[in-house]
Structure formats: structure tokens, C-alpha cells
Structure 1
Amino acid sequence: MNERIVEKLSILADAAKYDVSCSSSGSKRKNADKGLGNAEGMGICHSYTEDGRCVSLLKILLTNHCIFDCAYCVSRRSNDVKRAAFTVQEVVDLTINFYRRNYIEGLFLSSGIFKDPDYTMERLVRIAKKLRTEHRFNGYIHLKAIPGASEELLQEAGLYADRLSVNMELPTEQSLQLLAPDKKQEDVIKPMTYLKDSIIANRDERKALVKAPLFAPAGQSTQLVIGATPESDLQVLQLSDAFYKDLRLKRVYYSGYVPISHDKRLPTIGTPVPIVREHRLYQADWLLRYYGFSVNELLSPDDPFLDMQIDPKLQWALKHLDQFPVDINTADLEVIRRIPGIGIKSAQKIWEARKFRSLTWDHLKQFNIAAGRAKYFLDLKIEGRRRSDYTPDQIRQFIVGTAHSKFAANHSPQLALF
């Protein structure tokens, strides 16, 4: 690899790190005719950073040149950074060479905007097309769909990419006008809507014609930047919920704003968004998608932020103690899923096991539940007491105190010696 390519890779891989929407779950593209790669099943092997970001893909920008001047973006037009751009063939060669060396399992490709959306999107599509048709690459490809690009280019992109994503970035039109005056929400919603309709149409087509070409089999996703503007968690989750229900997005990703500018419109340098806020939003997002919760159950206009000390399910349970304790042997499955400390799989196992016998506390502990939380919400006599013996504040303190004690024990230099 020559020095110029290495330099470009260093610049454009670093610039891409702020985009967190790079999961490759959901694709079932098979390897055929001895091609390269495989995005089906275990063909994609993930590696994650401590905060959950996927690092298994070659994750780069095509360029960090950009005609836009979004205040929160490191690649914004006014920022004094070193610029670089790959050619179409350079990205293709990098992907193939890295894959053959077993460095990566696929490609995540985004870009700044060269001179207009179509000009940029056309190059992204050409890269994916070359990989698929010339190199018979069947590994995972995630392309950024550029707002403002033509429907023809979006259609072609969907034929070669496993997943497409159009990043909303900021939750409200007011915030976009403040920090990204070149962008409008409608410019992001329009391609999302087109992709939703195309994905649905393709799935219907494939039911009738199995050999019909795939179109974005892993769906579409988006990213929201958290903390650059004052929106509450309630506003963020309301937008995410609308994306899931109305636009059928596969995932919404949350990226805590990283201070990179002295722009007065932005938070002060040195005060990054706590990673725990991202974590709580992902937990709440999971509750919306898999546990049957609504946004209004988790948050309200009077209490619009998630608790940073406890997870959203526990936060909800402490506010709704009238729904507890739960009799694990008679409750509906949906109710069992709402018990703090009991996950989707554990709830299902409990539901199945109780068909054969009445379950006790000793039985429940065998189902991989978080017993320290769950015990306060079950209609069982545990250690001589029932949940009704405690107030919400006491339960909170017991759980938070136990968590802190475990953290201290696991991170104590003295205890680590024994």
C-alpha cells in the first residue's frame, strides 16, 4: 500500500468514526459461484468497542470535503482540517485487499458532499456496483444514502447495498436550522420514505418471484446526535418511535455529541455528553421495540429525561408500583417481560417452565435473571420479606447501592489481589 493511500485511509477512517450506525445485522446475502465474502448468518463476525460501536467493517468516508457547514460535524466546510478523497477504484481495492487479509467482513461507506448530492451518491453506488459485479463480493455493504439524491440512484444503491442509512442527525427542524442551516428535515424524510416503499415492494415481489433481486435486505437506519442541542430524551424517543412505526427503520442509533468546535451555538469544549445517556437511550429504544412499552409510559412532559442511575424499565416500575408485585405463576407473558431484571428470553423460559410446576424463587434464579432487581417486584416471600415491605425510595437505594458495591469490588486494587 503506497504512502498516499495510507495517508488518505488515516484521514478518512478517523473522520468516519463519528457515524455509529454501522451494524450489519439482518442481511441474508448468500455467497454464490465461489464469489468473495458472505453476509449470511455467521459470515459477518463482529467486534465491538466498550461502548458498543461496531468495528468489524472497513468504515471510511469517500471524502471529507463537504459543501455543507453543519456546526457539529468535523468535516464541515469551515473547519480547518486536512482534506482527502478516495477514488472509486481505491475504495474497491482497499475493501478487497482488507477482506482477503481477514481484516474486515464488509464495508461501511459514507461521505461528505462533493458538489451536490447526486454527484456524491453516484460514486458511492459505483463502488458498491464494482464490488458486486466485477469482484463478485458477497460480503456486507452499508452505504450512506445522501439526502437530495435522485430516486434512480437510491434505487440502484438498494440493489447493491445490504443496508442504506439516511442520517437525521438532529431531532428537530429548529435544531437543524440552528446548527445545519443547509439541511431540512423534509430532505431526510423524503429518501427514507422512498426506501421504505421500495423495501416493502421488493419483499412482496420476492414472495411471488424468488429470484427477484434483493433490495436493501438489511433495511435502513439513521443516526441522531444527542446533546449538541437541548432536546429532551422524550423528544428523541418520540422521533425514534415514529421512525420505527411509520418508516419501518431497522435501527435508530444515538451518538453523544463530541465537542469539536468553539462555535457559540454548541456545548462548551470539554463537556462531552456522558456515555451513560447514550446507553439509557438504547435501553429505552429496546423497550419500545421488544418489550411492548410506549414512549409515554417511559417519559412525560413533566419528567422528560431518563434517569442516569437506573435503567428505564426500573425507572418505570418504581413509578408504577401499583402494578406490582407480580405472581410469576399466573401473570401474562407481557407482564413478566415488564418485571425489572427479567429479559425477553428469561421471560419466555419462565412462561414455558411454569406449565410443568409452580415456580419458586430458587427456580427463578436458574433462569439467568437479575435477581437483585427482580426480587422487589415478585409476589414471593424472599429472605423473610415481601416487596410490599419496602418503599420506592428504599428499593432504589438497595439496587443502586448494590450496583455501586459490586463496581467498587470489581475495580478495587486491594480486592483484586485476592
Structure 2
Amino acid sequence: MAQLDLRAKLAILADAAKYDASCASSGTAKRKSAPGGKGLGSTEGMGICHAYAPDGRCISLLKILLTNSCVFDCHYCINRKSSNVRRARFTPEEIVDLTLNFYKRNYIEGLFLSSGIIATPDYTMEQIVRVARLLREEHDFRGYIHLKTIPDADPELVHQAGLYADRVSINVELPTVAGLTRLAPEKSAPRIEGAMRDVKSSIEDLRDAKKRFKSAPRFAPAGQSTQMIVGADAATDGDIIRRAAGLYGSFGLRRVYYSAFSPIPDASAVLPLQRPPLMREHRLYQSDWLMRFYEYQPGEVAQATDPATGMLPLDIDPKLAWALRFRERFPVDVNRASREALLRVPGLGVKAVDAILATRRWRRLRLADVARLTVSIAKVRPFLIAEDWRPVALAEKADLRSLVAPRREQLELFAA
């Protein structure tokens, strides 16, 4: 590894980082270079986009590993100890130089840093924290920093990471304890959850301290996130939805990310031979949004799965699947229904529902008014009543799914 130049290391370790999906940069504190040139970087600017914030801003991140060497031998990981891949390792100073130079060229606005386990979890965490400390303290870097922390590391090291980073994340890896035990026996679900609980406590404690003392330090102002691998074990979509809901409720996570398992070279015999459909990952993200933004309870979202298999349908989104299963709840009257009921209408987003609630205070809405708020009025019509619209024939149609489901060519385009 010592003979590799910086460009070769970057090629290896940037490619190795692509399997980690949890690098969105939304939710951090606004922070930018001060007038007169003090400080370097910003969490607000525009650049070459690598990640999207919920408001649509593009945030460019240098996404790399400190090293792809690892003392663990997780079956699903391409960087596992027994994997036959080319290894490389950055020094903290090299990562700092890369980050600053890429920022000055307007390539990036921040850093996402993860790592394999070098020697021990504590040593690895010390190296990760050193990168963030050098950027913040020696170079006054004010851009975005997301650090992937090591759950087996000393809690004080994880705490230090949160003092320098905008966001920290700890991967739960797999949706079930049984799956983790089978595919990553060196990792422990209780230790992972214990580390997440410590991070949650630090975020809450220092948030309260900040309200009382202006000098109190910030701790991970963009919160913490995690990632689950989808399709590497036997977990159903229902299992994944319930696990995600538990993580949100127990640890106050900002995001749960889902990463479809991708077959790796020299794969273990216990792994599936093919990756799951990419659409499955997409449907899980949609189910996640139903819980986070559409006021669905986890049990309701799980009701969108097939009772026999526990899987979400791939040809329609979870919200539509739920509506078709509970057709007795529809149609709803856009001029009378509650916000909760309107949020369950397929094709109506949160902004559309809020616009309906605001507009109907002044006049009654017609179907054309709703059409201006949605992408596909054809999808919405069977599920609502407007001033000039009542879907009598559509509501009674047995094969309603065929009318509102996306065309096959649309699904194939997404998969491609």
C-alpha cells in the first residue's frame, strides 16, 4: 500500500465507498466562510452534486474510505478480510489535503468519510476523528462533514466525532439480528444499538445545553443516520419496515438508508447469487416516506405488503397498494376530508394536501383544481370526490388496479 500514489489510492478508496448509501447532507446548521476570508468552506453553496437535500439542493461530497483493509470478515462486504481486492490506505493528512484541494476547485462542498477496521476499532476511530479535527481546527473548514463511526470504539471517541461532524452514522447493517449473526458474526446488534443510543443522548444533551449557553458546543447538528442492506438475508419488506420504524422511534434517527445487496467477487456460499430488484429498494424508500411525512403508522405501511410473502408489490407504490387494499376508505371528499385522510389519497403529496386545505377555506374545489396540484389526475380520480366529480363507476370497478398502476414500459425504464 505504501507504494501507491495518491491518485491510485483515490481510485481504489472512492470506488470502495460506493456501497455506502447514507451520505445525504440535509439538516445541518448553516455555516459559511466569514467576511474577509476567515474560514474555508460552506454548508450552503452549490456545486457538482453528489447528494440531494430534501429541498432539492445539490450537495457535493468527497465520499471515500480511510482504508478498505479490514480485520472483520462480514460475508456481504467486498472489503472483508478474506476478499481478494486491491488494498489501499490514506493517512489523515492525505484526506485533509484532498478535501481542501477539491473544495478550492469547487468540486465538493463536504466530506463523507468511512473506513474498514484497521488493527482495532479504537485506532480506526482515532484516525477518523483526526481527519475531522485537522479540518476544523487547523484549517477552519466550515463545509459539511459526515463521519461513519465504529460502534465497537470507545464512546469518548465517538463523542469527539460528533463534536467535529455535522452528521454521524452507525450502520445496523442488516434488518434482523438473525441475519447479522449469520452474515457478520463479529458484529453485535446490542453494541450497535448501544452506540446509537449514546449518540442520541449526546445530541439531546448538547442541544439542551446550547439553549442555555451560547458557548456550548454543537454535537452532530444534522443528527445521526444508519443503513440497512436489502436482499442479503431472508428479511421481508415487512421486517425491514418494522425495523426502520423501531430505529426512528428508539434513536431519533434523521434517516434510514436502504442499499440493495450487490453480488461481490469471490462471494460466500451463504449469499444470494443475484441482487434484488432495484425497484425493491425504491419501494422501501417510498414506504419510509409514508412513515416520515405522510403520518402512516408502521403497521399501516406493513399492510401494503403481500400477506403471503411480506413483500411490497413492485409494480405499484406502497401508498397505492394500501389504498387498493382498503378501498372502503375511499373516495374522500377534498372539500371536507381531514388532512390525515387526504394524505392517504394516491397521487396527492404533502404540498398538494396543504394547498387543498388552504384553498378550500375560501371556495369549493373542482377536479380541475386538484389536477393542477398533481402529476397524474388519472391516478387520483378514483379515490376522491370534488365539487363536480364523483367516481361512481371507477369506485365500483373490480380491476381498479389496472387503471391506476404504471405502465410496464415506465417500470422497465426505471429499472434500466
Output the CA distance in 1 between the equivalents of 2:309 and 2:83. 37
Per-residue CA deviation, residues 27-79 of structure 1 (Å, 9 max, x unaligned), is 1141254211111x456774459xx9x88210000001100000100100000
Q: CA deviation at 1:265?
A: 0.3
CA contact (8 A) 2:384 2:391 kept: no
SS of match in other structure, 2:332: coil
Q: CA deviation at 1:390?
A: 1.6
Matched, 1:343 2:346: no
Q: CA deviation at 1:183?
A: 0.7
Tell me the equivalent position of 1:290. Answer: 293
Output the CA distance in 2 between the equivalents of 1:405 and 1:276. 14
Output the CA distance in 2 between the equivalents of 1:223 and 1:30. 26
* Map 1:4-403 → 2, pairs under 5 A: 4-33=5-34, 34-39=38-43, 41-42=44-45, 46-47=49-50, 56-260=60-264, 261-268=266-273, 271-300=274-303, 302=308, 304-380=310-386, 382=389, 386-391=393-398, 394-400=399-405, 403=407
Q: CA deviation at 1:377?
A: 0.3
Output the CA distance in 2 between the equivalents of 1:164 and 1:9. 22
Tell me the equivalent position of 1:414. Answer: none
Output the CA distance in 1 between the equivalents of 2:92 and 2:391. 69
Q: CA deviation at 1:18?
A: 0.2
Output the CA distance in 1 between the equivalents of 2:84 and 2:319. 44
CA contact (8 A) 1:255 1:278 kept: yes
Output the CA distance in 2 between the equivalents of 1:262 and 1:127. 32
Per-residue CA deviation, residues 221-279 of structure 1 (Å, 9 max, x unaligned), is 000000000100111111110111110000000000000143110001xx222110010
Distance of aligned partners of 1:28 and 1:231 in 2 relative to their CA distance in 1, 3 Å threshold:
same
Q: CA deviation at 1:175?
A: 1.1
Q: Any gaps of 5 or more consecutive residues in structure 1?
A: 412-418
Q: Any gaps of 5 or more consecutive residues in structure 2?
A: none
Output the CA distance in 2 between the equivalents of 1:27 and 1:136. 17
Q: CA deviation at 1:355?
A: 0.6
Per-residue CA deviation, residues 390-416 of structure 1 (Å, 9 max, x unaligned), is 22xx2210122x5346679x99xxxxx
- Which residue identity lines up with residue 169 of structure 1 in the other structure? E
How many aligned residue pairs are there? 400
Q: CA deviation at 1:386?
A: 4.5
TM-score (norm. length: structure 2)? 0.91
Give the alignment's Cα RMSD to 1 decimal. Answer: 2.2
CA contact (8 A) 1:159 1:216 kept: yes
Distance of aligned partners of 1:237 and 1:211 in 2 relative to their CA distance in 1, 3 Å threshold:
same
SS of match in other structure, 2:180: helix
Distance of aligned partners of 1:32 and 1:213 in 2 relative to their CA distance in 1, 3 Å threshold:
farther
Identity of aligned residues (%): 46
Distance of aligned partners of 1:110 and 1:295 in 2 relative to their CA distance in 1, 3 Å threshold:
same
Distance of aligned partners of 1:102 and 1:287 in 2 relative to their CA distance in 1, 3 Å threshold:
same
CA contact (8 A) 1:105 1:140 kept: yes
Q: CA deviation at 1:176?
A: 1.4
TM-score (norm. length: structure 1)? 0.91
Output the CA distance in 2 between the equivalents of 1:77 and 1:99. 33
CA contact (8 A) 2:25 2:51 kept: no
Per-residue CA deviation, residues 322-376 of structure 1 (Å, 9 max, x unaligned), is 1101011000111111100000000000110011111110111122353121101
CA contact (8 A) 2:320 2:346 kept: yes
- Which residue identity lines up with residue 278 of structure 1 in the other structure? E
Tell me the equivalent position of 1:415. Answer: none
